[in-house]
Structure 1
Amino acid sequence: MLSVVMEEFGGPEVLRARQVEDPVPGPGQVLIDVTYASVTFVETQVRSGNGPFGRPSLPRVPGNGVGGRVVAVGEGADSALLGTVVVATTGGEGGYAERALARADEVVPVPPGLALRDAVALLADGRTALLLFRQAEVQPGEKVLVEAAAGGVGSLLVQLAVHAGARVVGAARGDRKAELVVSLGASYVDYSRESWLRQVREAAGGGELDVAFDGVGGAIGTAAAGALRAGGRISLYGMASGADATLDEDDLAARGIRTLGLFAAPGPAETHRLIGQALRLATEGVLRPVIGQVFPLTAAAKAHAAIEARATLGKTLLAVGDREAATEGSASGTANGDR
């Protein structure tokens, strides 16, 4: 099968497509004929050798999320899964390939009416957005800032906050992202401008913010924390700037501000539940995954380069082979984007 193999750490060019042996499902595993693979910012960090969990062993096939059809099951796995269209995490590697292994008890069937590419777009970002949003306890009428609002997680946080009745301001950079954020029901502010924080307050109706979702870090996240009211919340979910926000813990404590975020990963059962909830919300029209770009599997290096250059909109996927129509069946896509 064709896969993308990484034999060294470095720039996007270390991702090279080559033929390898098909994986064989072991006990409790399934083999998925992959149609789409998810690409994440964390995967670019791992490739560079600067991932959050240290350097993994090499060589390896990157990719932690796929969607496709189950074509084989290992010992002890439910044979009823054969032929089922699913999304699944892969345990941290193996996703950038024509076939990938996953734990049978962790695959999530794609609901009828939901396009497979939308389900893959929600696999990681959907569960993350739901977890962050639940922690923040956003209430109707609250003033909410979402940074990196045109990204995969940010665009979903905007939609969840709008659906909850909050007054939402999405911050990003550039006219293309502005159009997207406004289409999701939020006001837009370009945080590359010096007056961006004043514009956020004006767009939110004046005064201080109740909640800030910080997906940028650095000076942007630091400024957002300073704009919160006493008793507010800041949720840390990314560092697109390349650095964490500088937070004065004593000051936050004195103002009664809660710091939330992805400090501990949910267990397998909770992860499975969150993915299922994200897919259901998509079928109900509450969430619309934004897929800004789809690269062929052989262009995984270009996908990584685009993410690192902050040239992407919404979610980035890899399309595997020419089996898309056969796998998606009659599912209708809701994604908004170009290829």
Structure 2
Amino acid sequence: METTLKAVTIQAFGSPEGLAVIDLPAPAPGAGQVLIATEAIGVGGVDAVIRSGALAAYGFTEGHIPGGEVAGTVIAVGDDVDTSWIGQRVWAFTGVGGGYVEQAIAAIEEVLPLPASLSAVDAVTLGSSGVVAHFGLSHARFAPGESVLVRGAAGSIGIMTVQLAAHGGAGAVAVTTSSAERGERLRALGATHVLDRSGEGGADAPAGYDVIIDIVAGADMPSFFAKLNPNGRMVAVGAVGGQPPADFGMRMMAAFRKSMSFATFSADTVAGPERRAVRTEQFAAASRGALHTVVHEVLPLEQAVSAHRKMDAGEVFGRIVLTP
């Protein structure tokens, strides 16, 4: 009798109700791969964007299994993979999908052993977001003493960016968020100024910023160019608010003499060994309490629809984690 496992797929693009739990045949790892019995599955903003259908033009189809990172125990390995991996607790990047499952496949180069004191839930809260935050700041050429604005700071990437900027000696770390309560939680993590979603508020906030890390994008993104200092740099590391207007570059051209820069950043452009080294450092830092993960809620895999509803409603502070 064929063994099956539970998985969540996108049956129809659009609302969270388009997600469904189905049974799939148990997978087998191929050459260079491992099979992981998942204990925790990270729910990311990109999962919601893919589910909405906004990225269908990039090859995502209905039937896609969301989820890019999992943590659990290796239960089988493919050809050319050392059998000593079997039984190890690991974090793994599954790619642009394939994570919302009871057993996940990952390439061995995207698998990292977990410190004994780091939980699977904390690992998937930190694993991808910490790397994006680290290299996003690096891409912006952030230097100690500079002022940083994190737009959309309440998600896991924003929370890690706030901490890393503060630890890196930022002169100021401003955040945009939706409520005073969230602002206070971000202050406890290193923010020095709290602004509303439009970037206003905070009477003592800097007039401009050397670096803006933008996780939101969307229609309002061009208005934040006005908040850049001369020679300021904005880096978009996400687009949970959708794509910016097609003519957003005109706002930069209008401020030509300020020599501002805009860039996008994807961790796909960072070499695997570099990502691995940073992630290893961050897992160790979290294990000793030097970095703090923020888990909004842990839900069963079968409640992926509920998780996505909360994401769409903007209710999440930190990360939602699914468990099989």
Structure-2 separation of matches of 1:54 and 1:26: 26
**Per-residue deviation at 1:219?**
5.7
1:119 corresponds, among 123, 126, 129, to: 123
Q: Is the 8 A contact 2:68 2:93 kept in 1?
A: yes
**Per-residue deviation at 1:234?**
1.2
1:104 corresponds, among 103, 108, 115, to: 108
Identity across aligned pairs (percent)?
32
Deviation larger for 21-30 or 211-220: 211-220
2:323 corresponds, among 319, 325, 328, to: 319
Deviation larger for 169-178 or 47-56: 47-56
Superposed CA offset, 1:153-210 (max 9, x none): 11111101111221111110013312211111213434247xx53x35x433x44222
Provide the residue aligned with 1:183 in structure 2.
188
User: Which residues of 2 match residues 232-247 of structure 1 at below 5 A?
Assistant: 232-244=232-244, 246-247=248-249
In the alignment, structure 2 segments of 5+ residues that lack a partner are none
Provide the residue aligned with 2:162 in structure 1.
158
1:89 corresponds, among 87, 93, 96, to: 93
**Per-residue deviation at 1:243?**
3.9
Q: Is the 8 A contact 1:65 1:123 kept in 2?
A: yes
**Per-residue deviation at 1:252?**
5.3
Provide the residue aligned with 1:224 in structure 2.
224
1:254 corresponds, among 236, 254, 257, to: 257
User: Which residues of 2 match residues 1-339 of structure 1 at below 5 A?
Assistant: 1-51=5-55, 54-166=58-170, 167-192=172-197, 196-197=199-200, 199-200=201-202, 202-204=203-205, 206-218=206-218, 220-244=220-244, 246-247=248-249, 248-251=251-254, 253-262=256-265, 265-266=268-269, 267-320=271-324
Is the alpha carbon distance of 1:264 and 1:66 closer, same or farther for their aligned partners in structure 2, counting shifts above 3 Å? Answer: closer
Amino acid at match of 2:194: V
TM-score, scaled relative to structure 1 = 0.85
Is the alpha carbon distance of 1:179 and 1:53 closer, same or farther for their aligned partners in structure 2, counting shifts above 3 Å? Answer: farther
Structure-2 separation of matches of 1:64 and 1:165: 31
In the alignment, structure 1 segments of 5+ residues that lack a partner are 321-339
Is the alpha carbon distance of 1:127 and 1:44 closer, same or farther for their aligned partners in structure 2, counting shifts above 3 Å? Answer: same
TM-score, scaled relative to structure 2 = 0.89
Amino acid at match of 2:181: R
Corresponding residue pairs, total: 315
Q: Is the 8 A contact 1:181 1:188 kept in 2?
A: no
Give the root-mean-square deviation of aligned CA atoms. 2.2
Superposed CA offset, 1:65-98 (max 9, x none): 1100001111111111111110111132221111
Superposed CA offset, 1:267-298 (max 9, x none): 43333333323323323433212111222100
Structure-1 separation of matches of 2:60 and 2:217: 25
Is the alpha carbon distance of 1:252 and 1:282 closer, same or farther for their aligned partners in structure 2, counting shifts above 3 Å? Answer: farther
Is the alpha carbon distance of 1:53 and 1:133 closer, same or farther for their aligned partners in structure 2, counting shifts above 3 Å? Answer: farther
Structure-1 separation of matches of 2:50 and 2:253: 33
Is the alpha carbon distance of 1:25 and 1:241 closer, same or farther for their aligned partners in structure 2, counting shifts above 3 Å? Answer: closer
Deviation larger for 237-246 or 4-13: 237-246
Is the alpha carbon distance of 1:315 and 1:86 closer, same or farther for their aligned partners in structure 2, counting shifts above 3 Å? Answer: same
